[in-house]
Amino acid sequence: VLIGLIDLGTHEETFQGVAKEARKIYLCWEVPGEKTSTDRSHVIGREYTCSFHEKAGLRKLIESWRGKPFADGEAFDLSKLIGAACLLNVIHDGNGEKQYAKVSGVSAMPKGMPKPVATIKPVTFDLDDNSPEEFPTADWLPWSYGEQLVVKVSRSPEWKAKGGTPANAAPKKQTQPAQKPAAKAPVEDEEPVPF
């Protein structure tokens, strides 16, 4: 179940040797039925470039999730994804002790399969609508590439333009332990995907 939609702001990235700036977004899923050592559901997330270009990973993810391609010029509100259930494909990558779980795909729940229900309250953060002081402080938020999301967001020009500083963030780096793939969780909700 998607429980986190975090605007990471604009960041420089290099693709095929060319540096460019791109707006980033972080999607975060709860995996009900898979528990951590603290008896809370596992949470896993992934960073995407916030683009609906026909080759963009975010667009492909949403098309796979909803089971149909976007029409030419179709607008899409990402906030519709919050609370939506899906089948999450998680792979384990890395080598030796540096293993990590990675979201490799998302698809719609098969017809008749019970949909999981989130047990964690969803959070959203949009740099266009929220101030740095409103950044979610939920302790379940995953890290991205070894750093807290607030640290990454604090480097964006959008954050700085709103008066946020790196001092708002804890610069401590940490790696997340590998997480297990999702298991089926029985629930009664059988409505179609709302997007």
Q: What is the pLDDT of residues 144-163, one digit of tens each?
A: 888 899 999 999 999 999 98
Cβ 96 vs Cβ 168: under 8 Å: no
User: pTM value?
Assistant: 0.81
**Assigned token pair, 86:** 């899906």
Q: Looking at this protein, which amino acid is placed at residue 43?
A: V
pLDDT digits (tens, 9 = 90+) for 60-116: 999 999 999 998 888 899 999 999 999 999 998 888 788 888 899 999 999 999 999
